[in-house]
Amino acid sequence: MTELASSKIPVTVITGFLGAGKTTLVRHLLAHAKGKRIALIINEFGELGVDKEILAGCGDETCREEDMIELSNGCICCTVADEFIPTMQALLEREDRPDHIVIETSGLALPQPLIRAFNWPEIKSEVTIDGVVTVADAAALSEGRFANDEQAVDALRSADAMLDHETPLGELFEDQLIAADMVILNKADLVTDAELDTIEAHLKAEMRPGTGVVRARNGHVDVAALLGMGLSTEDNLAGRESHHELEHGGEGHEHDDFDSFSVTLDGVTGKDHLLATIEATIRAHDVLRLKGFAALPGAPARLAIQAVGPRVTAYFDRPWKPGERRQTALVVIGESPLDHAAITRSLEAAVAAAA
């Protein structure tokens, strides 16, 4: 039995809410893999392959570009049979099989259907879940970002850093926590130690007993703690049921509560104006998440943009490639329905002629 388990390729599933820092954690993992060759499956929510572009090249020999597989325009938990299983089969048929597989799920994904998929006969004998890692955003939790009623957040924040509202976002977050073997409390440097203690206490109330919590800054976690757990999670499903499974006895779910679309801009006037426009748009239209790339006048490199709520971060990630079209492309994600036209008009203020 031990020999059979050891012959399987270990898989780490990294899940977590929108903007918690999953991609940053994966970048760190690839950069510190110490020669272990990793295949990466990225599940995007939205039309643009932003996460793959951010990760491309950061692992070099440990994760070549051909080892990065992207599943777009569909949440991985909703497309297990149609996309995930065939993708895994194709990966396992390669002659140069990877040492380890990392799956970065969409921020809207339920981990439970994906975990159960590892018991499908097509792949069960070949792979095993080494561990499920859920990334949580300490700064967002301290701001009560999972409540729809902002007045309620203001009234209850001092007493409860994680509000107990049964909103779609709250249920999704709880489902990601209950499925975890390890929780990474990311962005710990953005809140006080007292706030961290309160947040961690609330997290533990939603987690299965024995689940570890690691505090992190910028996704920096010892790779030895992330890889090599050896838990065979697919064989230990008890206590990981999602809200839907508990309430309806099924595994299906819908993402009608979320909306996503992309905006392309040509001729932005400058970095500060663009970021200010993005922040103003997010505040005006209650956008949950925005990410993408920008082309700035005279800049030889593209600007990577990540926004969680009103917090916007940006950095130059790589030079523009020869012949590559230089344009600004953004993915907008929020609770449905988003006003596509109004948000697009608001973002287009970034290309207004400087006067």
pLDDT digits (tens, 9 = 90+) for 258-312: 677 889 998 898 999 999 999 999 889 878 778 888 999 989 999 988 886 677 8
The sign of the dihedral angle between the CA atoms of 278, 284, 287, 289 is positive
- Rounded to whole angstroms, the Cα distance separating 111 from 175 reads 8
Q: Is the pLDDT of residue 73 over 60?
A: no
Position with higher pLDDT, 25 vs 70: 25
Counting Cβ atoms within 10 Å, is residue 179 exposed (0-12), middle (13-18) or buried (19+)? buried
The sign of the dihedral angle between the CA atoms of 225, 227, 231, 235 is positive
* Range 193-219 average pLDDT: 91
Q: Is the pLDDT of residue 15 over 60?
A: yes
Question: What residue type is 176 in one-letter code?
Answer: Q
The sign of the dihedral angle between the CA atoms of 185, 188, 191, 193 is positive
pLDDT computed for residue 174 by the predictor: 87
pLDDT computed for residue 172 by the predictor: 80
pLDDT computed for residue 159 by the predictor: 38
pLDDT computed for residue 296 by the predictor: 93
Spatial neighbors of 25 by CB under 8 A, at least 6 apart, are 14, 133, 135, 184, 186, 216, 219, 221, 226
pLDDT computed for residue 145 by the predictor: 64
Strand, helix or coil at 131? strand
Of 278, 284, 287, the closest CA to residue 336 belongs to 287
Please state the φ and ψ torsions of residue 320, each to the nearest 5 degrees. Answer: -65, 140
Spatial neighbors of 138 by CB under 8 A, at least 6 apart, are 185, 186, 187, 188, 190, 191, 195, 196, 199, 215
Q: For the segment 85-104, what is each residue's pLDDT rounded down to a tens digit?
A: 788 888 888 888 889 999 98
Q: For the segment 133-170, what is each residue's pLDDT rounded down to a tens digit?
A: 999 999 888 887 642 233 333 343 333 333 333 335 67
**pLDDT tier, 313 (very low <50, low <70, confident <90, very high otherwise):** confident
pLDDT computed for residue 334 by the predictor: 77
Position with higher pLDDT, 259 vs 331: 331
Position with higher pLDDT, 288 vs 232: 232
**What does the mean pLDDT of the chain come to?**
78
Instruction: Report CA 30 to chain centroid distance, whole Å.
Output: 16
pLDDT computed for residue 340 by the predictor: 93
pLDDT computed for residue 179 by the predictor: 92
Specify the residue for token string 């729809």: 148
pLDDT computed for residue 191 by the predictor: 93
Q: Is the pLDDT of residue 209 over 80?
A: yes
pLDDT computed for residue 132 by the predictor: 95
Alpha helices in the chain (DSSP H): 2-7, 22-31, 50-55, 85-92, 111-117, 138-142, 150-156, 168-178, 193-206, 223-226, 243-248, 271-285, 340-347
Residue 100 host element (H or E): strand 100-104
* Range 27-54 average pLDDT: 70
pLDDT computed for residue 167 by the predictor: 38
DSSP assigned state of 316 = E
Q: Are 93 and 212 in contact (CB under 8 A)?
A: no
* Range 15-37 average pLDDT: 84
Of 228, 150, 139, 226, the closest CA to residue 188 belongs to 139
- Rounded to whole angstroms, the Cα distance separating 124 from 126 reads 6
Is the full-model pTM beyond 0.85? no
DSSP assigned state of 174 = H
Q: How far is CA 164 from CA 146, 199, 243, 248, in A?
A: 9, 13, 14, 21
**pLDDT tier, 190 (very low <50, low <70, confident <90, very high otherwise):** very high
